[in-house]
Amino acid sequence: RLGSPRLPSVPRRVPTMPVVGVLLWATLLTLGWRAAHPKDHGFATPRVQLSFKGKSLLVGVGGRVGPQGGGNHGHPGTGSFSSSFGGHQQSAPSEIPTGIRVQVWPGSHPRAWADAFSSPSQGECGNFIRLIQPWNRTHLYVCGTGAYNPICAFVNRGRKAQDYIFYLEPDKLESGKGKCSYDPKVDTVSALINEELYAGVYIDFMGTDAAIFRTMGKQTAMRTDQYNSRWLNDPAFVRAQLIPDSSERNDDKLYFFFREKSADAPLSPGVYSRIGRICLNDDGGHCCLVNKWSTFLKARLVCSVPGPDGIETHFDELQDVFIQQTQDTKNPVIYAVFSASGSVFKGSAVCVYSMADIRMVFNGPFAHKEGPNYQWMPYTGKMPYPRPGTCPGGTFTPSMKSTKDYPDEVINFMRAHPLMYHAVYPTHRQPLVVRTNVNYRFTTVAVDQVDAADGRYEVLFLGTDRGTVQKVIVLPRDDMETEELMLEEIEVLSPCPLCSQQQQLYVSSAVGVTHLALHRCDVYGEACADCCLARDPYCAWDGSACTRYSASSKRRSRRQDVRHGNPIRQCRGYNSNANKNMVEAVQYGVEGSTAFLECQPRSPQASVKWLLQKDNSDRRKEV
């Protein structure tokens, strides 16, 4: 039976009647409409909750192995996720290796023994893999912490997955300084472009010198200005991504996403999220900024909830970034996960950014400190030519082939003004998903585009620090508001990381890797109404079961309504079969006493409604 949404109710103690005279019915009402309103941010409820029990690990990663051999290839003691999406072509089972190949790559023995007594934790003296990049069709370029002595190597993986080759090239080991962090707890982000490695990394043992480096390849080795807090101030790197600016390759820029300490604290939040960029063909300056980036710029990333009084609540700590490619490679969609962990306010949010907004900020005014209070102001003085941050040989500087040709005033301006005055705000200037007043925070995001019967939808897979993955879609409403639907919450591992390809969600942690299907349509129930009310764009009713939706299917009986979830319209002719599998339970009681009646709903989004039907009557009255 369908009715208007009701708040979930608890089982009630109902006085029992003579058994022959009364039937008590429990009707489940599914909450099909749940608007994403700020006051409900902490109460999103999944339609289906699945436990990790029964899920197997694909690859086991053992504990720390001492200097006698082996190394820990995981990440010590964290509960965060990391994520990426690949292609979505389903591979045949025979193409996926089912065994485990272990390649032992220990750290330096003397250094490992020394660090076992000098480092903060003896468990950190293995060789933790922090960087893996595809070098060519047959090899990977891999870097590890090397027991606080970073080291890199080439790994032969074969030409095809079926070759199942995986071994180190022992004669091609090289230093990992400037490529991989010393400390396994410090993340390294990297991009390998044209056999040149770009990395955001801490390059010293004490973890005080953070830099964006370029090593390897034919171009000059480069880095950010050392110990200059205006450029980088104790950053935590999150992601690096090449995004072209135009059809001219000389305009290509590499974007870095990171968070860093605010140089203005305590007058402002202690942490800011940033997006920075450099030109790939940057050669540094001629006299100033020699072998240092001369095109580095950065801007603040804002993810905040506007309040009724105009005061914004900020999520300042960037945790993860996912780049959703589009048909236009110059304009991908950027999804970012943020958190707030203050003593008063805690929560997480997902914000979406457009490259048009990002480029507008980088083409805007530079931040400049002036005035009696030495406060940030937009720079209004004379702008040197070419505009600082412009790539040489590109659309606007075709006659300048190198940054070494730039005038000294351009280089000096860059060194003193790396920050843009305006911040980058999300689309619609508000988050897509918000969670507050909950006992977890989002740590990662991956996004899949799904074609459904009534349009294309972006499905968000959000990893949490308690080892679960939330499957969420956000639907537009007619009143410019949005509606968030949490389709599933899956307990994958005891806190664990997230990536996906081949219609699988790969989730990794320090203890291993497991994979999940992107859809589990059978868990929604055995009736058309249940399948329709799920509003899962992956799933549709095929006439007999809830199965994977395929846009190319010629079957006319595919029933699906993601936007409205209306089973009355979609399931005509199938609703009569909805009650076939209902189980009737008889409970005896003593007249004049009480009995506890219980009805367990199949979905956390359903409420229970009790109806009383007396003997010799067809009428049912709500209790």
Nearest to 81 by CA among 519, 484, 493, 501: 493
Instruction: Please state, in angstroms and rounded to a whole number, the distance separating the CA atoms of residues 575 and 605.
Output: 20
Q: Which residue has the higher pLDDT, 97 or 585?
A: 585
Q: Is 140 exposed, middle or buried (0-12, 13-18, 19+ CB in 10 A)?
A: middle
Res. 113: pLDDT tops 50: no
Res. 30: pLDDT tops 50: no
| Domain regions of the chain by residue span | 13-32+525-622
pLDDT tens for 79-92 read 333 333 433 333 33
Nearest to 296 by CA among 355, 207, 376, 231: 231
Res. 37: pLDDT tops 90: no
Region of poorest pLDDT, from 97-106, 323-332, 513-522, 585-594: 97-106
Q: How far is CA 164 from CA 92, 100, 101, 132, 509, in A?
A: 15, 10, 9, 18, 23
Q: Which residue has the higher pLDDT, 502 or 390?
A: 390
pLDDT at 510: 66
Residue 79 CB neighbour total at 10 angstroms: 19
The DSSP 8-state label assigned to residue 553 in this structure reads: -
Q: What percent of the chain is predicted at pLDDT more than 70?
A: 72
CATH architecture, domain defined by 13-32+525-622: 2-Layer Sandwich (3.30)
Q: What percent of the chain is predicted at pLDDT more than 90?
A: 40
Q: What is the mean pLDDT of residues 169-194?
A: 91
Q: Which residue has the higher pLDDT, 509 or 241?
A: 241
Task: Please compute, for residue 176, the number of CA atoms within 13 A of its CA located in the half-sphere on the CB side.
Answer: 33
Nearest to 37 by CA among 430, 512, 462: 430
Max avg pLDDT among 74-83, 301-310, 497-506: 301-310
Question: Could you tell me if 67 and 107 are in contact, meaning their C-beta atoms sit under 8 angstroms apart?
Answer: yes
**What's the 3-state SS for 220-251?**
CCEECCCCCCCCCCCCEEEEEEEECCCCCHHH
Ranges of beta strands (E only) in 36-150 are: 48-50, 59-60, 129-134, 139-144
Res. 266: pLDDT tops 80: no
Phi-psi region of 421 (alpha: psi -120 to 50; beta: other; left: phi over 0): alpha
Q: How far is CA 459 from CA 31, 61, 324, 548, in A?
A: 20, 30, 11, 15
Q: Which residue has the higher pLDDT, 14 or 574?
A: 574
Nearest to 278 by CA among 232, 233, 317: 232
Q: Confidence class of residue 280 from pLDDT cuts 50, 70 and 90?
A: very high
Q: Which residue has the higher pLDDT, 341 or 232?
A: 232
Q: Compute the C-alpha angle 542/545/549, nearest 5°.
A: 45
Q: Which residue has the higher pLDDT, 29 or 499?
A: 499
pLDDT, mean over the chain: 78
Query: Would strands 482-491 and 48-50 be described as parallel, antiparallel, or unpaired?
Result: parallel
pLDDT tens for 462-496 read 999 888 899 999 988 776 788 888 988 988 765 54
Q: Which residue has the higher pLDDT, 101 or 371?
A: 371
Q: Confidence class of residue 562 from pLDDT cuts 50, 70 and 90?
A: confident
The DSSP 8-state label assigned to residue 365 in this structure reads: P
Instruction: Please state, in angstroms and rounded to a whole number, the distance separating the CA atoms of residues 223 and 215.
Output: 9
